Amino acid sequence: QKEVEQNSGPLSVPEGAIASLNCTYSDRGSQSFFWYRQYSGKSPELIMFIYSNGDKEDGRFTAQLNKASQYVSLLIRDSQPSDSATYLCAAGVNDYKLSFGAGTTVTVRA
Amino acid sequence: GAVVSQHPSWVICKSGTSVKIECRSLDFQATTMFWYRQFPKQSLMLMATSNEGSKATYEQGVEKDKFLINHASLTLSTLTVTSAHPEDSSFYICSANGQNNQPQHFGDGTRLSIL
């Protein structure tokens, strides 16, 4: 079983819609959770991190964490073509090592 | 925000060559740096954890004698791919953790092509 699992997609949404990305993790010792965006041929860029149960909002992005269900999600509101990328979910343990999911590819249709 | 600089961004060389990749933290001291490898259409795979002033910790299956890591200062870690072969061709990315549990930030990556 992979430590962090994501739907590979691709997830296609129309411009202006909400894109919903899901992630589950297996290590209950994970304490920190991250969403990175990676454009093709580029390195990952941190867009959100969350440590506590509940929601965290930053602009058009909302991360949701449910530790009991070992579930993390990312909502992208008012999706733009520039949001088209692969989104990587990562879970961290005490020594800051991150386990990455395989990524979900999002395509926003203009 | 935190900036991590990685150099070079692209390397093409002959089989058998050793290649050194540098990772620098530009505006913070990085006690820990990480080296990842990413093959096309796959996720990031952690290769090793680099700690300033001590030996790197390698992940299972990663040859420490082939992928030499040196973290001699709080702002610089280097990865040397020794005697590189075509199967070592990949996208190598470093990241750094600052102090106080700051999230990891990635360098721009180094695309290594071995002919």
Distance from CA of A80 to the nearest CA of B (A): 23
Contact B94, B35 (CB under 8 A): yes
Distance from CA of A93 to the nearest CA of B (A): 11
Nearest CA in chain B to A44: B106
Contact A49, A57 (CB under 8 A): no
Mean pLDDT value across chain B? 91
Distance from CA of A15 to the nearest CA of B (A): 25
State what percent of residues in chain B have pLDDT above 90: 68
Report d(CA A34, CA B103) in Å as an integer: 8
What is the pLDDT, as a whole number, of residue B51? 86
pLDDT band (50, 70, 90) for residue B1: low
Nearest CA in chain A to B96: A96
Nearest CA in chain A to B43: A102
**Average of pLDDT values for A77-86?**
97
pLDDT band (50, 70, 90) for residue B98: low
| Contacts of B97 by beta carbon, 8 Å cutoff, 6+ apart | A96, B30, B31, B32, B33, B34, B103, B104
pLDDT band (50, 70, 90) for residue B32: confident
What is the pLDDT, as a whole number, of residue B105? 86
What is the pLDDT, as a whole number, of residue B89? 96
Kindly determine whether residue A45 and residue B106, on different chains, have CB atoms separated by under 8 Å: yes
Judged against a pLDDT cut of 90, whether residue A45 lies above it is answered with: yes
Judged against a pLDDT cut of 60, whether residue B5 lies above it is answered with: yes
Preferred mutation among A43, A50, A94, A97 to probe B, highest tally of B CBs within 10 A: A43
Partners of residue A103 in chain B, C-beta under 8 Å: 43
Partners of residue A93 in chain B, C-beta under 8 Å: none
Q: Pick from B34, B71, B67: which is nearest to B55 by CA?
A: B71
Q: What is the 3-state secondary structure (H, E, C) of B9-25?
A: CEEEECCCCCEEEEEEE
Judged against a pLDDT cut of 90, whether residue B41 lies above it is answered with: no
pLDDT band (50, 70, 90) for residue B57: very high
List the single residue in B6, B43, B108 with the smallest CB-CB distance to A101: B43
Partners of residue A44 in chain B, C-beta under 8 Å: 44, 93, 106
User: Which pairs with CB-CB distance under 8 Å and at least 24 residues apart come from A68-74?
Assistant: A69/A24, A70/A24, A70/A25, A70/A26, A70/A28, A71/A22, A71/A23, A71/A24, A72/A22, A72/A23, A72/A24, A72/A25, A72/A33, A72/A35, A73/A20, A73/A21, A73/A22, A73/A23, A74/A20, A74/A21, A74/A23, A74/A35, A74/A48
Distance from CA of B68 to the nearest CA of A (A): 19
What is the pLDDT, as a whole number, of residue A1? 62
Report d(CA B40, CA B38) in Å as an integer: 7
